Copies of this chain bind each other. A is one copy, B any other.
Amino acid sequence: MSQHIKLFIPGPIEVSEKTLRAFSSPMLGHRSKDFQALYASVEPGLQKLFYTKQPVFFSTSSAWGVMEGALRNVVSKKVLNCMNGAFSDKWFDVATRCGKQADSLKVEWGKPILPEQLDAKLKTGEFDAVTIIHNETSTGAMSPIYELAEVLRKYPDVISIVDTVSSFSALPIEFDKLGIDVMLTGTQKALALPPGTALFTVSEKAFAKAATIKDRGYYFDFIEFRKNGESSMTPSTPSIGHFYALKSKLEDIEAEGIDNRYARHQANAKLTREWAKSRGFELFAQDGYQSVSLTCVKNALNIDVPKLNSDLKSKYSCMIDGGYGKIKGATFRISHMGDESTENIKKLLGWIDDCLKAQGK
């Protein structure tokens, strides 16, 4: 087997040996009492991280499955897709592919979605649902979810679907308090688990709306998830390894302390941003709206990003990300979420410095 390259890309991120050991626990039947106990054991920790009293569900899929499923569950009139990067742009495309009426609130990549922009769209009364990506992984821009939620609360007939794929557990996002209707995340981002499962929670309002939609399907049906969840089970055979890994990770989070975890993510982000600016780079995301889990660096020095990455791999057995979609090469991204200590991020930045010297930068 070739040498492992440690991942500082914004997902999948590095997974600890402890988590991988848990992930590869022997199987058990998913309709057994032992499985129900496993399911029930992770539920309180997840509710704490989601800041909710609602049940939290496990979808054996990537986040995209739930992002599509949410549309099928709650959109009957027209959905507003807030677009400010590759993933939020794609959500609009997915809505139309599901046969849903959709319109967009589109801002430049790198910018956040702002409350007044959202308000202007929603006050048209055209929409019964809205999608927002809290932390655009492609651009490193984090939209002000607390302020956006304030606007959303003015429109109780609009179901809000918030993707926290790359921000969940890196900072508090208080589902119940904010009044969000659907909130989802993946496992391979700040939770530092292997990819393959998505987690989500649903408000009573969204459950009620789903009950009115006749063709919402089965695999991502919120009401099936709730019904099965009541007996600590999933509608379909779940990825059992992910439950074990999640249980292990929730223990880690409890041991670290959630506030320490948030503070560590803030410190890692601050360090990385300061490093980038001190070296003459710029940040791609607008000031004041930069992600706490990853930093998207504008390649203002015109470095050779593929060479940087290949040097990081050969000299330091690690890699960062070379930029996503239309800003590939014009940006690069450093993930500082999950298990990474500030010490680790310092080391990584030192390695990048070293590799950049070889480019005369």
Q: Are B65 and A241 in contact (CB under 8 A)?
A: no
Q: Using Cβ atoms and an 8 Å threshold, which residues of chain B touch A20?
A: 24-26
Determine the distance from Cα of A239 to Cα of B196 in the docked complex, in whole angstroms. 4
Interface segment, A120-128, A214-222, A265-273?
A214-222
Determine the distance from Cα of A98 to Cα of B218 in the docked complex, in whole angstroms. 7
Q: A11-B237, A98-B218, A215-B99 are in contact. Are A27 and B65 (CB under 8 A)?
A: no
Q: Are A237 and B62 in contact (CB under 8 A)?
A: yes
Q: A65-B65, A97-B216, A215-B99 are in contact. Are A29 and B319 (CB under 8 A)?
A: yes
Q: Using Cβ atoms and an 8 Å threshold, which residues of chain B touch A63?
A: 236-237
Determine the distance from Cα of A97 to Cα of B28 in the docked complex, in whole angstroms. 30
Q: Are B236 and A62 in contact (CB under 8 A)?
A: yes
- Copies of this chain, tallied across the complex: 2
Determine the distance from Cα of A11 to Cα of B31 in the docked complex, in whole angstroms. 10
Chain B's closest residue to A192 (CB) is B27
Q: A97-B217, A194-B27, A215-B98 are in contact. Are A236 and B65 (CB under 8 A)?
A: yes
List CB contacts (< 8 Å) of A17-76 with chain B.
20-21, 23-30, 34, 60-65, 68-69, 72
A14 in contact (CB, < 8 A): yes
Number of contact residues on A: which range applies?
Answer: 35 or more
Interface segment, A1-9, A107-115, A255-263, A344-352?
A1-9
Determine the distance from Cα of A361 to Cα of B137 in the docked complex, in whole angstroms. 63
Identify the A interface with B (CB < 8 A).
1, 4-5, 7, 9, 11-15, 20-21, 23-30, 34, 60-65, 68-69, 72, 93-94, 97-99, 186, 188, 194-197, 214-219, 221, 235-242, 319, 321
Given A27-B194, A64-B235, 5 further pairs, Cβ under 8 A: A5-B28, A11-B237, A14-B27, A60-B195, A61-B65
